[in-house]
Chain A
């Protein structure tokens, strides 16, 4: 511990003056045991880019129009640090979008990825950044620098700080899926989009029956991409002519039965893969019966074949 001499009288910030007390003014750091070079310094990066190395940026989103911006800094062999920025517009949602760019030779110091065009919490964008050769096309990358969700400009993915985040990590993104209103006399069918995985939370739809005399008994099914039935959720509840019945399927744990023309089905804890279907089936369905568009709540994950 080293004690330094008291400073001479100095004006204070408020216009007054103070006199440092010699017995409490101490330097608490010790003299370093190592020294540092000011020339021929080892660069603080494991990634050295050659002239042939190409960045491959791939992203996958559930909405139209995310704009991916990659920014970073490059340490060139002459010692200068060059910032760079590359922007990619998205062509198609639920599709793997990819773009490439090259930099000059040098050490990559930092890299960040932002999604600059997101305006709703139901939207998400999953992104990966690789190094590859040659310059064009999705060839097999030899180094993955970053992967994860870039949801909005404030949720940036950065190299080397960010860990590689798998698409199905976390809680998923809650999303309300409003499906197709089928033609009269037809059943509901919704298909999990390409490249995503759903954790099904609830399903809600109304069946309005025609005047044709018949007893309708609806149920809800989950089918895999081949059309095979995986799960059937049903209830003894029925509805006759010129009536309305609401189907509410959620994670109640048990079937609650029928309350005020609403039947409550228990929903199993299940993930749905791309191409799987949620359908209704209705015993006694008549040609004039009409289902409304289903409202489905899911936790959505990216599952792209990047």
Chain B
């Protein structure tokens, strides 16, 4: 079972779990340096965490469909409610980030 290291966050994972189900890695959020709940100290920002820059997210885009073996992004046709518009999908995942690296077994 192959292991990968995410080049964006440094996390290590298998993309297929022991029971054969799929695992999709997504980098976690990071601390928000602008987090501030005291207006006397500066602009308020109630988000204690923010998304990591160049985040990798292997999940499928919500609009992704595979139609007769071809991945497409599906959107509603505003001119005809009975039809949907398909455009070729450039990627099967939400964001590549900095990619991932196969981890040799000996390194685990």
Which A residues are within 8 Å of any B CB, using their own CB?
A: 62-64, 89-100, 119-120, 122-123, 136-140, 175-184, 186-191, 193-195, 223, 227-229, 274-275, 277, 279, 293, 305
Contacts and interface: CB of A to CB of B under 8 A. Distances in A.
Contacts of B86: 137-138
B106 interface: no
Contacts of B65: 95-98, 138
5 contacts: A140-B82, A180-B13, A193-B24, A193-B60, A223-B49
A98 B9 contact: no
Nearest to B94: A194
A255 B79 CA distance: 55
Interface in B59-82: 59-69, 71, 74, 81-82
A97 B19 contact: no
A123 B22 CA distance: 9
A98 B68 contact: yes
Interface of B: 6, 9-14, 16-29, 47-51, 57, 59-69, 71, 74, 81-84, 86, 92
B63 to A, nearest CB: 8
Contact of A180 (B25, B29, B61, B84): B25
B19 A176 contact: yes
A116 to B, nearest CB: 15
A91 B64 CA distance: 12
Contacts of A90: 66
Nearest to B85: A137
A190 B28 CA distance: 7
Given A227-B49, A279-B28, A92 B60 contact: yes
Q: Decide if the interface of chain A is mainly helix, strand, loop or mixed.
A: loop
A177 B64 contact: no
Which of B16, B60, B74, B83 is most buried by chain A, counting CB atoms within 10 A of its CB? B60
A179 B57 CA distance: 13
Given A277-B28, A279-B28, A227 B10 contact: no
Nearest to B18: A178
A94 B25 contact: no
Contact of B11 (A123, A186, A274): A186
A223 B48 CA distance: 11
Across the A-B interface, the 5 shortest Cβ-Cβ residue pairs: A189-B28, A183-B10, A180-B11, A191-B26, A93-B22
A119 B19 CA distance: 9
Contacts of A228: 47
A194 to B, nearest CB: 5
A120 B68 contact: no
Contact of A279 (B20, B29, B62, B64): B29
Contacts of B13: 179-181, 293
Given A92-B60, A195-B60, 19 more contacts: A64-B20, A64-B22, A92-B71, A95-B60, A96-B66, A120-B19, A120-B20, A136-B67, A138-B67, A177-B17, A179-B13, A180-B9, A180-B12, A183-B11, A186-B11, A189-B27, A227-B47, A227-B50, A229-B48
Nearest to B24: A193
Nearest to A189: B28
